[in-house]
C-alpha cells in the first residue's frame, strides 16, 4: 500500500513539474482516386488507376494495373516522382497475369514530393516503356 501511494505521489509530482505531453499521431488523409484513362499517359490494352493519400508526413500511392486486352503483351505502368530538391524516383508495376487480371502494389514517397506522373504501356520481350507521354497522378 505504501509503495502504491509512493508511486502515485511520484507520478503526480513528475507530471506537475515537467507537464504531461501526449502526442497522438496525425490521422491519415482520406484517399484520393487517380486514373490515367484519357490522359497523355493512357494506352489501349492497359488500365492504370488507384489512390493516393498522406500519412505520417509521407505520400502513399496505391497502383493497380489491369491488362484489358488479350494480345500477348503485359500491361505496365511506370511512375516518376519529382521532389522539391530536384531529385526524382521511378517505380514500375507490371502485369503479365493475362487479360482481365489486375495487379496491385503500394509505394510511399518522402514528404518533399511535388509531383507524380504515370505512363501506361504494353511490353513483350522486344519492347520497353521509354519516352512515352505521361499523365499526372499527384
The overall longest dimension of the chain from CA atoms, in Å, is: 79
For the stretch 84-134, pLDDT in tens is 999 999 999 999 999 999 999 999 999 999 999 999 999 987 667 655 688
Task: List the CATH code of the domain at 25-136.
Answer: 2.60.40
Stated length of the chain: 138
| Residue that has been written with the C-alpha cell 497522378 in this structure | 137
Considering only residues 16 and 78, tell me which one the structure prediction assigns the higher pLDDT.
Answer: 78
Instruction: Give residue 134's pLDDT.
Output: 87
- DSSP codes joined into one string, 84-106: TTS-EEEEEEEE-S-TT-EEEEE
Q: Cβ(116)–Cβ(52) under 8 Å?
A: yes
| Residue 54 clears pLDDT 90, i.e. is over it | yes
Mean pLDDT estimate for the chain: 83
Q: What is the mean pLDDT of residues 55-73?
A: 96
Sketch the domain layout of the chain as residue ranges: 25-136
Residue 24: CB atoms within 10 Å: 5
Amino acid at each position: 500500500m505504501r509503495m502504491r501511494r509512493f508511486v502515485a505521489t511520484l507520478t503526480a509530482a513528475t507530471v506537475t513539474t515537467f507537464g504531461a505531453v501526449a502526442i497522438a499521431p496525425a490521422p491519415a488523409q482520406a484517399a484520393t482516386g487517380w486514373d490515367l484513362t484519357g490522359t497523355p499517359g493512357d494506352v489501349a490494352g492497359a488500365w492504370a488507376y488507384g489512390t493516393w493519400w498522406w500519412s505520417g508526413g509521407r505520400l502513399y500511392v496505391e497502383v493497380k494495373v489491369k491488362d484489358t486486352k488479350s494480345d500477348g503483351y503485359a500491361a505496365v505502368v511506370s511512375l516518376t516522382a519529382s521532389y522539391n530538391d530536384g531529385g526524382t524516383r521511378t517505380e514500375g508495376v507490371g502485369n503479365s497475369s493475362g487479360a482481365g487480371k489486375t495487379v496491385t502494389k503500394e509505394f510511399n514517397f518522402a514528404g518533399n514530393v511535388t509531383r507524380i506522373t504515370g505512363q501506361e504501356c504494353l511490353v513483350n520481350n522486344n519492347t520497353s516503356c521509354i519516352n512515352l507521354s505521361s499523365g499526372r497522378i499527384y
